[in-house]
Amino acid sequence: MNERYACVCVKEFPAQALLRLRPELRDRACVVMQGNPPLEQVCSLNNKARTLGLMRGMTKVEVETFPRVALLPRSTDEEAAAKAAILECAGVFSPRVEACGNESMFLCVIDIAGTDKLFGPADVLANNLLSHLRKLEIAACIAISSNFHAALAAAKGLTARKPVQVIPAGGHESDALAALPLSVLDMTPEQAETFTLWGIRTLGMLADLPEKELIARMGQPGMRLRRLARGEMPHLLEPVEPEFTLAERMELDSPIEALDALLFVANMMLEQLIVRANSRVLALASVTITLKLEGGATHARTVRPALPTNDRALWLKLLHLDLEAHPPQAAILAASLEAEPGNTSKVQLGLFSPQLPEASRLDVTLARIRAIVGEENVGRAVLKETHEMDAYSIEPFQLPSSKPATVSNSSSRSAVRRLRPAEEIFVTSNSQQPAAFVFRGTHYAVERAYGPWLSSGEWWKQSLWGCEQWDLIARAQDGAMLCCCVVRDVLRNQWQMAGLYD
């Protein structure tokens, strides 16, 4: 199979990694500062800043002489999140991706050999990849070639006006690279100075140098540079295997305390998480927001709706309600979102099926109730593994399985109406079993008594309990029959009416 590589080049990567989550700064001149005060220097900048005349290496004092320039501190965490997003995007088109680059530029090369039938011709694949990167708010250039290093050099020489270049297969790399400057090659300052003294300015001029004479003057590194300029240097691809994690992090320019300002930041991070999940046909099952606070403390909250969803407005509302109920206790310095992926949930209704309520409305309603009554009081009741009367716990609400429950066909079933709370009654005993009782002002004589069923538990706690249960058939003086369940608290010798049988 013929080799085919697509190189993604993201120039001014530190600046792009910061601006992808800051849409309010994209129309301004922005520079990224690196170093310790007061020796900070510009390490990256956007096109608007370059138009004003700013350059890498300028100090903070020099930058402040320009009007309306935003100064951003470099963030390795945000750059790591941006790299992970780009590699995930590239992994959609091929599992073989190698990452490379330097401090100011991020490069990754994708092995696209044999993907024509899946993604179409090379130019179609390049444009689709470029479209996916733009959804991540990343401006990139893409070059495709049969040679790994030729794709790298061609991608470095592209501009925003022409972001895609496809070098035809069949040995056309030398002609395609001829007009590029020597700066697209990774060479030492001494090598660059030597070529400048010789008057060599482009790859085409370097490729035309005689090989033997070049080796005699520069050794094997000279031969390597000549083969790179001609697009003939071989390479063994070393693919990376990044773990798929949906995470975004943003360090704030200044501490914030208002919840609305935090939600604006969370909105941008949610948008990126949803774009990345959609590219893999996934949805967000849960979102954890972690806030770094002044003083070194952290504040983390997790939101999990009933069904996985990519509805950004729903996630934002759930985060809003949760943070209102559990606000951070200090000013916020940084925020990060981590999402757990889940399968998209789509329910196909029958032609005559009734309209089901939207799951998002249920999630918002439950979140509002939690804010009022507390999280521990909202959920579904689950019986405990005990014989204690009315023993249950509250668990978070989850949609039941779509598998239908099995229903017994037995016709000898009776219904019981539990009394909550159980009503206290007066019972007359005979031979250690109920003989008569008074219930709601009516006297009943017991005709049949079944029991007792004894149960007790939690002897190791102060909440020790003992219960004696009887099923009774009783009749009143007017002939009315009553089938009931009565219980006796063994510890307190107290009788209660627990339920009535229909």
Give pLDDT tens digits for 350-387: 666 666 666 667 778 878 888 888 877 887 788 877 77
Q: What is the largest CA-CA distance in the chain?
A: 125
How far apart are alpha carbons 47 and 31 in whole angstroms?
A: 10
Q: Is residue 404 part of a domain?
A: no
In this structure, the answer to whether residues 251 and 187 fall within a common structural domain is no
Same domain, 15 and 73: yes
Residue 385 lies in a domain: no
Answer yes or no: is 370 within a domain. no
pLDDT at residue 409 is higher than 80? no
Residue 459 confidence (pLDDT) above 80: no
pLDDT band, very low/low/confident/very high, at 404 (cuts 50, 70, 90): very low
Residues 114-148 pLDDT 10s = 898 899 999 999 999 999 999 999 999 999 999 99
Q: Which of 321, 342, 363 is the last residue of a domain?
A: 342
Does 46 share its domain with 72? yes
The residues near 324 (Cβ < 8 Å, ≥ 6 apart) are 259, 371
The pLDDT score that the predictor gives to residue 350 is: 63
Hey, what are 95's tokens? 């599992």
DSSP 366-415: HHHHHHHH-GGGSSEEEE-SS-STT-EEEE---PPPSSPPP----S----
How many Å apart are CA 304 and CA 327, to the nearest integer? Answer: 18
Q: Contact, 443 vs 477, CB < 8 A?
A: yes
Q: Model confidence at 199, in pLDDT bands (50, 70, 90)?
A: very high
One domain, residues 224 and 301: no
| Residue 403 located in a structural domain | no
Residues 208 and 336 in one domain: no
Provide the domain limits for residue 318.
246-342
- Band of pLDDT at residue 41, cut at 50, 70 and 90: very high
CB of 4 closer than 8 Å to CB of 64: no
The CA distance from 238 to 110, in Å, is 10
- Distance in angstroms (rounded) separating the CA atoms of residues 190 and 198: 13
Number of domains in the chain: 3
H or E element that contains 14 = helix 13-19
Place of tokens 């790591």: 80
Number of Cβ within 10 Å of residue 2's Cβ equals 8
Whether 326 and 457 share a structural domain: no
pLDDT at 335: 94
DSSP symbol at 19: H
Give me the mean pLDDT over the 423-449 stretch: 93
The model's confidence at residue 411, banded by pLDDT at 50, 70 and 90, is low
Per-state percent for the chain, helix, strand, coil, to nearest 5:
30, 30, 35
The answer on 109 and 188 residing in a single domain is yes
In a domain, 372, yes or no: no
Q: What is the mean pLDDT of residues 313-338?
A: 92
> What is the C-alpha to C-alpha distance for residues 455 and 452, in angstroms, rounded to an integer?
10
The residue with greater pLDDT, 171 or 18, is 18
* Res. 1 pLDDT band, cuts 50 70 90: low
Sequence-ordered alpha helix ranges (H) in 199-302: 203-207, 211-218, 220-230, 259-279
Is the dihedral angle over the CA atoms 116, 122, 123, 127 positive or is it negative?
positive
CA 296 and chain centroid, separation: 24
**352 in a structural domain:** no
Per-residue confidence (pLDDT) for residue 398, from 0 to 100: 65
Tell me, what's the pLDDT at 138? 94
Confidence (pLDDT) at 142: 96
Q: Last residue of some domain: 290, 312, 342?
A: 342
Helix 259-279, helix 312-325: angle, nearest 10: 140
Label residue 405 by pLDDT band (50, 70, 90): very low
Q: How confident is the model at residue 230 (pLDDT cuts 50, 70, 90)?
A: very high
When the pLDDT of each residue in the chain is averaged and rounded to a whole number, the result is 88
Confidence of residue 181 (pLDDT cuts 50, 70, 90): very high
Report yes or no on 124 lying in a domain. yes
Q: Are residues 178 and 40 in the same domain?
A: yes
Percentage of the chain exceeding pLDDT 70: 93
- Here the CATH number for the domain that contains residue 286 is 3.30.1490.100
Please tell me whether residues 37 and 155 are part of one structural domain. yes
Category of 367 on φ-ψ map: left (φ > 0), alpha (ψ -120 to 50) or beta: alpha
Tokens matching residue 100: 């490379």
The verdict on 226 and 266 lying in the same domain is no
CA distance 502 to 66: 86
pLDDT for position 461:
78
Which of 342, 367, 392 is the C-terminal boundary of a domain?
A: 342
- Which has the higher per-residue pLDDT, 286 or 348? 286
**Residue 145 contacts residue 176 (beta carbons within 8 Å):** yes
Regarding whether 202 and 74 lie in a shared domain, the answer is yes
Indicate if 295 and 187 belong to the same structural domain: no
Say yes or no to pLDDT of 317 above 50.
yes
pLDDT band at 254 (very low <50, low <70, confident <90, very high): confident
Beta bridge partners of 455: 467
CA distance 227 to 233: 5
Residue 449 located in a structural domain? yes
What pLDDT, in 10s, does the model give residues 274-304? 999 998 889 999 999 999 999 889 999 999 8
Element (H, E) at 319: helix 312-325
